[in-house]
Amino acid sequence: MREIILDTETTGLDHSSGDRIVEIACVELFNRFPTNRSFHAYINPERPMAPDAEKVHGLTDLFLADKPRFAEHVEAFLNFVGDATLVIHNASFDVGFLNAELARTGRELLRFERVVDTLALARRKHPGAPNSLDALCARYGIDNSNRVKHGALLDAELLAEVYIELTEGRQSGLDFEVAGAVDGRSLDVVYRAAPQRAVPLAPLLSVEEREGHAAFIRTLGDKAIWRDYLEPRGALIEAPRREAAMA
């Protein structure tokens, strides 16, 4: 399953009044593991930066003046995102800005059905608690000491870690090892087999206990559901089945 963690920075808080995106960042996850693939772009918003917004992310009009406009990034952005699920913190804000930009370029708008809002997830999991990105990093022990100001790429990377914690998405053990791939691309992620003991542990049951268990199973009949779930271990359990088949 491919998911894209997405974050934006903007000139202000209201796209309907003309505020624009100045930075987009996307981080790719595959089966809840980072693939080390990302998309990142600074954007000339073609309008002045609001002073309060500049205090938040530190991006100035001078810095953005020579950056490409959104229309010059849109193809690369849409190609990177593809049809993956979008994971966004406070999704209505970012999707509103992205759809305003996509509308200006005549592109199809993003559907909310493909979006996971981590703010909504956090509020359900931690009702009444602070659920900002900083608060969630603190709750899950994620190092955000470099987050002096908001930045879309750093925030997307932090949100990827938060999302994995929120959804408990990493499996603790896997019985195979295979390199991941999406659309024919190799991914820098490997599913590693759970470690195996060189010498199996000695059985905890005595011979008498195992014989007693086999005798009990024998009393349940051939159609007992236990027979479907117990892994045969030697003649003590297998013998009754063979005897029944021969009768």
Catalytic sites, residue numbers: 150
Residues 222, 237: contact at Cβ < 8 Å? no
| DSSP result, 37-74 | EEEEEE---SSPPPHHHHHHH---HHHHTTSPPHHHHH
Give CA separation, 80 vs 37, 69, 83, 164, 237, in Å: 9, 17, 9, 21, 55
Residues 70, 100: contact at Cβ < 8 Å? no
Q: In what order do the strands lie in the sheet with 115-117?
A: 33-42, 21-30, 2-10, 85-88, 115-117
Residues 102, 86: contact at Cβ < 8 Å? no
